[in-house]
Amino acid sequence: MTTPTNGNHTDETPDLHTRDRSFNAYLTNLTGEDAPGLLGHLAIYNITGVDPVQHDELRDWFEELELNKKHMPGPPRAVDAFEKASSAAKDSYPLGGKRKRNHGSQGQTVTLMMRGIYRDETRIVRHLVRELADHENEELSYEVRLAEVQFVRSTDPTDPDGAGTMTVSPDRDEITRLRSDEQRSITDLLRWIETDYEHRTRYVSADRLRKMVRDYIERELTAVRIHQGVYFVHRRHADTLAALRTLAARFSGELTRIPLPDTAEQRQMVDGAFEAKAAKDLESLARDIATVQADPKPYQVRHLHKRYQAVKEAAEDYQTTLDTQLTNTDATLELVQAQMASLWVAIGEQQDAAGDDQPDPAAAS
Q: What is the pLDDT of residue 12?
A: 41
pLDDT for the residue 143: 78
Nearest to 183 by CA among 147, 151, 149, 150: 147
Residue 363 Cα to chain centre, angstroms: 32
Q: What is the pLDDT of residue 24?
A: 64
- The pLDDT tens digits along the chain (365 residues) read 333 344 444 444 445 566 667 666 666 665 555 556 789 999 999 998 899 999 999 999 999 999 999 999 999 999 999 999 999 999 988 886 555 555 555 578 889 999 999 999 999 999 999 988 876 646 666 678 999 999 999 999 999 999 999 999 999 999 999 999 999 999 999 999 999 999 999 999 999 999 999 999 999 999 999 998 899 999 999 999 999 999 999 999 999 999 998 889 999 999 999 999 999 999 999 999 999 888 889 999 999 999 999 999 999 999 998 989 999 999 999 999 999 998 888 887 777 666 655 445 445 45
* DSSP bridge partners of 123: 152
Q: What pLDDT does 3 receive?
A: 39
How far is Cα 2 from Cα 198, in angstroms, rounded to an integer?
31
DSSP 212-257: HHHHIIIIIS--EEEETTEEEEEGGGHHHHHHHHHHHHHTT-EEEE
Q: Say if residues 46 and 245 touch (Cβ distance below 8 Å).
A: no
Q: What is the dihedral of CA 239, 240, 245, 249, to 10 degrees?
A: 110
Q: Looking at residue 362, what is its pLDDT?
A: 47
Q: How far apart are CA 196 and CA 205, in angstroms?
A: 11
- Contact, 79 vs 164, CB < 8 A? yes
What pLDDT is stored for residue 349 in this prediction? 75
184: left (phi over 0), alpha (psi -120 to 50) or beta: alpha
Q: Are strands 224-227 and 230-234 parallel, antiparallel or unpaired?
A: antiparallel
pLDDT number for residue 202: 96
- Note the pLDDT of residue 82: 97
